[in-house]
Amino acid sequence: MPEQYIGRFAPSPTGPLHFGSLVCALGSYLDAIAHGGQWLVRMEDLDPPREMPGAAERILKSLHAHGLHSHTPVVWQNQRHHLYQQALDKLRDDGLVYPCSCTREQVRKAGGHQRAQCVGEQGNHALRFHCAGAQETFHDLWQGEQTQVVGEDPILKRKDGLYAYQLAVVVDDIAQGVNCVVRGADLLDCTAVQSQLFRALGASVPQFGHLPLVMNEGGQKLSKQNHAAPLDDQKASANLVQALGFLGFHPPPGLESELPTQILSWASARWQRQAVDRRNRLLAQ
């Protein structure tokens, strides 16, 4: 374990929290608290066209209702563009970023982006991070030993001038001192690219842990895009107990009648990583 554990939960304000979001938030919170660490909340509001008006405030209200409070003031990515540009400048100076004007249709027809066939800078262009072919081997807290090969150079800044998730998430984790990233298993495939970025920016790669996903009847993960039902903040205690059950724990009868703070105290005292049920599955299974 690192000397001082710092974890985080970083939702995007594209809609309210749903049950799958709660599982991720709760797992990351409990892992931090159980290891004597800090738990931070960061709002990943980088993509205005995709954001839902009022969603960020509703997310924070839901977290508060469930007793999940950031140990430091909430960080908003839309206020940190200067940090992302500084990182891009460093990567460019190191020869690791290059312009790309390839269209989605060109990339699709080519079967993926290849730098050798990239059209380069032609008017509006994105900036890509040169790391294709890099291999990362790491131990995930719940998914075990992983080996990933980066398939193509990821975009760090889009043609429309917006900074990409891959860049911002790493820059912010570095700036906030995050050294244990607990998140959903849908982001497992991002780990190799992000590990490459951590190293390119002169930082240590954090420990990663990818929690199981709550699936819907159609075999998709619960998500805002798939119209997952918003959390009912009036049932916070019941929601927490249900999320603990999904994660593999066995809350005693009647725990849902306690306050969220008491439920979290019960759970953090009993949190053990090896007890987490690692299967992606329907809520009822």
Annotated catalytic residue, options 90, 159, 224, 235: 224
The upper half-sphere exposure of residue 209, i.e. CA atoms within 13 Å in the direction of its Cβ, equals: 26
Residues of the chain below pLDDT 50: 1
pLDDT at 75: 97
Question: Both tokens of residue 169?
Answer: 């998430």
Between CA 47 and CA 76 the distance in angstroms is 12
Could you confirm whether 224 is annotated as catalytic?
A: yes
Half-sphere CA count of 229, side-chain side, radius 13 A: 5
Running DSSP on this structure, what letter comes out for residue 171? H
Give the CB-side neighbour count of residue 184, counting CA atoms within 13 A.
Answer: 18
CA separation for the pair 103, 28 (Å, rounded): 37
Question: Which DSSP state fits 212?
Answer: P
Beta bridge partners of 18: 230
**At 12, is the secondary structure helix, strand, or coil?**
coil
pLDDT of residue 183: 98
Q: Is 66 helix (H, G, I), strand (E, B) or coil?
A: coil
pLDDT at 285: 54
Strand 144-149 and strand 135-140: the pairing is: antiparallel
How much is the pLDDT for 216? 82
pLDDT the model gives residue 135: 97
Q: What is the pLDDT of residues 39-76, one digit of tens each?
A: 999 999 999 999 999 999 999 999 999 999 999 999 99
**pLDDT value of position 228:** 79
pTM of the model: 0.94
Domains and CATH numbers, the chain: 6-282 (3.40.50.620)
Q: What pairs with residue 99 in β-bridges?
A: 127
